Structure 1
Amino acid sequence: MEQKSIFSNKVALITGGSRGIGKAITLKLFSLGCDIIINYVKNEEAANNLVNEILANTTSQKVIAIKADIGDSEQIKAMFKQIKNEFGKLDILVNNAAFGALGPAMRIGKFTWNMTMNLNTGGLLLCTQNAVKLMTNGGRIVNISSLGSQFCLPDYMPIGTAKAAIETMTKYLACELIEKNIYVNAVSAGFIDTEALDIFNDIDDLKQKAIEKTPAKRLGMPDDIAKVVAFLCNDDSNWIIGQTIIADGGSSLRF
Structure 2
Amino acid sequence: MGELPHADDTETESHVSLADSRAREGSPQNPGSPVRGRPRSEAVERSIIEGVMKLLEDGVPLAEVSIERVARTAGVGKATIYRRWRGKEELFVDVLRASEPPDPVLPGTSMRDDLVALLESLRRRALRSRSSAILHNVHAQMKSSPKIWAAYHAVVIEPRRRTTSDVLRRGRENGELRADLDIELISDLFVGPMLVRTVMRPDATLDENLAEHIVDTVLEGLRPDGA
User: Normalising to structure 2: TM-score of the pair?
Assistant: 0.30
Which has a greater percent of strand?
A: 1
Which has a greater percent of helix?
A: 2
Mark the structure with the bigger radius of gyration: 2
